[in-house]
């Protein structure tokens, strides 16, 4: 359910003061009137009334009734490496909930009979930290995790991965906090319906707080290290990593590659304002300077339309353009 704006709250200094007071009391770090662009890897966003950074389930328990009380639309956010903003108002009277962790420590590892390893992680943890941990302990997941930015929570929500693996293969259980009811549910794999770059067990009102990952050790260390290095080198060679992007723009259609389709139609370098299809990788759309959300959306629409007209293939965006928040 996407929510219309809440002019009442923004024009009510007493309500704003009270909201801030409660955030301070609950020790939830926050900022006001925040530029969202740095909250995305592509650098596209308007300003927002509040950004809050809870890090415990207890804080979420205190935050959710506050958002309800003031009817504040909110967005659950990781590191913004798979999204950009195109909001109808600037500043937008909503709350960005950036789920963070204060520690990069990865909790207890224990084996079961089949020599699997279980690792409990806060989902605010960066994938880069998890990937380094996996590399150090020679867990196979390091190979496909290498180089995917963002948080573990964003990774589970997007079922992030490569052709070598994705988050669906790691989940032993995941904890989900429901912002509407204030309840926490532990989901085992049979309740985790993963899709290609997505899932259907966590909606926009639900926040994945922690997960237990099941990891397997590589048996051949030399081959593991080689695959890890190759995976990073492949990324460096094929992706415009120095540019501002959100990774792949479109999901690969069944049996095809979105990048190859776009490239074959000669669309590399096409641009709308400062939003441009990378000359390096056709499925990477880049903000070359001051692209707006409108520029990026127009470029995505135009590419979808051209590909469909010329090939009959309908491309589905992998990136999430955020045009409103939920209540």
Ligand X SMILES: Cc1cc2nc3c(=O)[nH]c(=O)nc-3n(C[C@H](O)[C@H](O)[C@H](O)COP(=O)(O)OP(=O)(O)OC[C@H]3O[C@@H](n4cnc5c(N)ncnc54)[C@H](O)[C@@H]3O)c2cc1C
Residues that bind ligand X (CB under 6 A): 41, 76-83, 99, 123, 148-151, 153-155, 157-158, 160-162, 197, 202, 207-208, 239, 241, 245-247, 320
Of 239 and 252, CB closest to ligand X: 239
Q: Measure the CA–CA gap between 75 and 98, rounded to whole angstroms.
A: 8
* Active-site residue, selected from the candidate residues 41, 210, 245, 248: 248
Known catalytic membership, residue 248? yes
And the tokens for 110? 């224990």
Task: Single out the catalytic residue among 176, 197, 214, 272.
Answer: 197
**Minimum CB distance to ligand X, residue 147 (Å):** 7
User: 253 vs 311, which CB is nearer to ligand X?
Assistant: 253
C-alpha torsion sign, points 271, 274, 278, 282: negative
Closer CB to ligand X, 243 or 295, in the complex: 243
Distance of CA 66 to the CA centre of its chain: 24
Quote helix, strand, coil % in the chain, to nearest 5. 30, 30, 40
Which among 46, 140, 243, 318 is annotated as catalytic? 318
Map tokens 């950036």 to a residue: 98
**Nearer CB in complex with ligand X: 132/320:** 320
Q: Minimum Å distance from CB 111 to ligand X?
A: 27
Give me the DSSP letters along 159-185.
T-EETTEEGGGTEEEEEEEETTT--EE
Query: What is the Cα Rg of the chain in Å?
Result: 20
Could you give the CA distance from residue 240 to residue 245 in angstroms, rounded to a whole number?
A: 8
Helical pair 13-25 and 57-69, crossing angle rounded to 10 deg = 170
The reply to whether 46 belongs to the active site is: no
**Nearer CB in complex with ligand X: 15/128:** 128
Supply the minimum distance, in Å, between the C-beta of residue 271 and ligand X. Answer: 19
The least distance separating ligand X from the CB of residue 18, rounded to whole angstroms, comes to: 27
**Cβ atoms of 215 and 128 closer than 8 Å:** no
C-beta of 6 vs 239, nearer to ligand X: 239
The distance of closest approach from Cβ of residue 151 to ligand X in the complex, given in angstroms and rounded to an integer, is: 4
Q: How far is the CB of 8 from ligand X (least distance, A)?
A: 25
Contact 98, 304 (CB under 8 A): no
219 is known as an active-site residue = no
Question: Comparing C-alpha atoms, which of 196, 178, 198, 176 is closest to residue 187?
Answer: 176
Q: Which residues are designated catalytic?
A: 197, 248, 318
């Amino acid at each position: 359910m996407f929510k219309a704006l809440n002019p009442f709250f923004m024009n009510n200094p007493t309500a704003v003061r009270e909201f801030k007071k409660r955030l301070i009391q609950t020790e939830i770090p926050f900022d006001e009137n925040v530029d969202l662009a740095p909250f995305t890897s592509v650098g596209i966003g308007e300003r927002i009334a509040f950004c809050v950074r809870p890090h415990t389930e207890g804080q979420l328990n205190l935050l959710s009734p506050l958002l309800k009380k003031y009817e504040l639309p909110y967005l659950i956010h990781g590191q913004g490496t798979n999204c950009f903003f195109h909001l109808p108002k600037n500043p937008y009277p909503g709350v960005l909930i950036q789920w963070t962790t204060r520690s990069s420590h990865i909790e207890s590892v224990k084996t079961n009979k089949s020599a699997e390893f279980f690792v409990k992680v806060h989902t605010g943890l960066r994938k880069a930290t998890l990937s380094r941990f996996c590399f150090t302990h020679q867990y196979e997941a390091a190979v496909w995790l290498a180089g995917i930015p963002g948080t573990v929570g964003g990774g589970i929500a997007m079922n992030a991965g490569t052709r070598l693996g994705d988050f669906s293969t790691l989940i032993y259980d995941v904890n989900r906090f429901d912002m509407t009811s204030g309840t926490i549910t532990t989901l085992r794999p049979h309740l985790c319906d993963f899709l290609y770059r997505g899932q259907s067990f966590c909606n926009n009102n639900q926040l994945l707080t922690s997960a237990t990952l099941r990891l397997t050790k590589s048996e051949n260390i030399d081959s593991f290290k080689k695959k890890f290095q190759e995976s990073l080198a492949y990324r460096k060679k094929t992706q415009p990593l120095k540019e501002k992007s959100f990774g792949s723009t479109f999901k690969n259609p069944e049996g095809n590659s979105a990048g190859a389709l776009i490239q074959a139609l000669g669309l590399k370098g096409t641009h709308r304002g400062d939003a441009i299809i990378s000359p390096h990788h056709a499925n990477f759309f880049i903000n070359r300077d001051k692209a707006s959300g409108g520029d990026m959306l127009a470029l995505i629409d135009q590419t979808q339309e051209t590909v469909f007209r010329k090939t009959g293939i309908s491309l589905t965006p992998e990136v999430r353009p955020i045009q409103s928040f939920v209540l």
